[in-house]
């Protein structure tokens, strides 16, 4: 596995550690947002897009936001800032086998 694939694997493992339970194409897990105390899993994580959303607190985001909330490191080569702009989104492009080919990053 390369370092980018390791990042997405670590993200999924961290989600599963929060009482992650497969439900269809997604994994339900305890919401990671501070102040949201989940008695049971309410957030959903999509393993292909690495996006998540919690219908209870109405918060969610992409893999970077989730990684930050879970205390994970960013993939090597991905800068958290470019000049005065902060990384606000990261999407992985994958091949038919699910391997990461590259990223699309958004800086605000």
The answer to whether the predicted template modeling score (pTM) of the entire model surpasses 0.95 is no
- Residue closest to 87 by CA, chosen among 59, 100, 68, 101: 68
pLDDT over 60 (residue 2): no
User: pLDDT tens digits, residue range 4-25?
Assistant: 678 888 899 999 999 999 999 9
The burial of 27, by beta-carbon neighbours within 10 Å (0-12 exposed, 13-18 middle, 19 or more buried), is given as buried
Percent of the chain with pLDDT over 70: 96
Residue 41 pLDDT: 93
């Amino acid at each position: 596995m390369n370092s980018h694939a390791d990042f997405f694997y670590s993200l999924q493992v961290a989600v599963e550690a929060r009482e992650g339970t497969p439900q269809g194409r997604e994994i339900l897990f305890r919401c990671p947002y501070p102040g949201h105390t989940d008695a049971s899993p309410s957030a959903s994580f999509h393993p292909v897009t690495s996006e998540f959303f919690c219908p209870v607190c109405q918060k969610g985001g992409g893999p970077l936001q989730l990684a930050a909330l879970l205390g994970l490191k960013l993939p090597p080569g991905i800068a958290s800032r470019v000049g005065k702009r902060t990384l606000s989104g990261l999407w992985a492009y994958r091949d038919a086998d699910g391997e990461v080919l590259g990223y699309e990053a958004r800086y605000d």
